[in-house]
Copies of this chain bind each other. A is one copy, B any other.
Amino acid sequence: MRVAQGRDSVLLAVKPTQAQAPAVGVNVLVVYHSVTGNTEKMAHGITEGARSVAGANVVLKRVGEVVADDLLASDAVIVGSPVYFASMSGEVKTFFDNWSLKFGLFRELKMRNKVGGAFVTGAAISNGKEVTMQAIHAAMLVNQMSIVSGGGAFGASATTGPDSPGIDEKALESARALGKRVAEFAAVTKRGSRT
């Protein structure tokens, strides 16, 4: 039996029926862009958190490596970006643009009902991390995905500038919490979508 630790485990503590539900296989796709390695470290934390959920199959890819089938095969997608000038990097935005331009996912809403989450890294506090997570969420909502937070009010985030400790244990804990949260919620929606 799982022991609830911290806010992100409250669900399991207060809604035991959900924790006891039989494991269902969920495919979680973790996608990121990273230049300095910070967002990549967070992506590994996300992956670790998602893998801690029974039945979760987690795929980790850089934005440029993702193909349409990766997205189609997923039950949940967690997208991570560095914050450049208070929004997602051009590469991450191009990845989303490709959902329409290249992957043909938008017109028939092929991503509908998949679960989405966001994580970010930025050099300073309050320098655009929140609005970048909101922008990732917005792209997902337009595709009629459902959104959950985890590891923070909007998602997982880390401050990586000279004044900060970089990707420390606290940031990784936030990342793992988001990964776990998204995988758990994807399991709920997958079970609930079965006849």
Nearest chain B CB to A116's CB is how many angstroms away?
Answer: 9
**A1 located at the interface, meaning its Cβ lies under 8 Å from any Cβ of chain B in the complex:** no
Nearest chain B CB to A138's CB is how many angstroms away?
Answer: 4
Choose among B96, B108, B128, B148 the residue that contacts A138 (Cβ–Cβ < 8 A).
B128
- Given the complex, which residues of B lie within 8 Å of A190, measured CB to CB? 192
30 examples of A-B residue contacts, CB within 8 angstroms = A10-B112, A11-B144, A17-B195, A21-B192, A21-B193, A22-B195, A84-B93, A84-B96, A84-B97, A85-B96, A85-B143, A86-B142, A87-B87, A87-B96, A87-B135, A90-B91, A90-B93, A90-B96, A115-B146, A126-B152, A127-B142, A128-B142, A129-B130, A134-B134, A141-B147, A141-B148, A141-B154, A144-B150, A188-B192, A191-B191
16 additional contacts (CB under 8 A) given A86-B135, A126-B154: A20-B195, A84-B97, A85-B96, A87-B93, A90-B90, A90-B91, A125-B157, A126-B133, A126-B152, A126-B157, A128-B130, A129-B130, A134-B134, A144-B149, A191-B193, A191-B194
Q: Which 5 A-B pairs have the closest CB atoms?
A: A192-B192, A90-B94, A86-B138, A191-B192, A188-B192
**A binding-site residues for B, Cβ under 8 Å:** 7, 10-11, 14-15, 17-18, 20-22, 84-91, 93-94, 96-97, 99-100, 106, 108-109, 112-113, 115, 124-131, 133-135, 137-139, 141-144, 146-150, 152-154, 157, 159, 185, 187-195
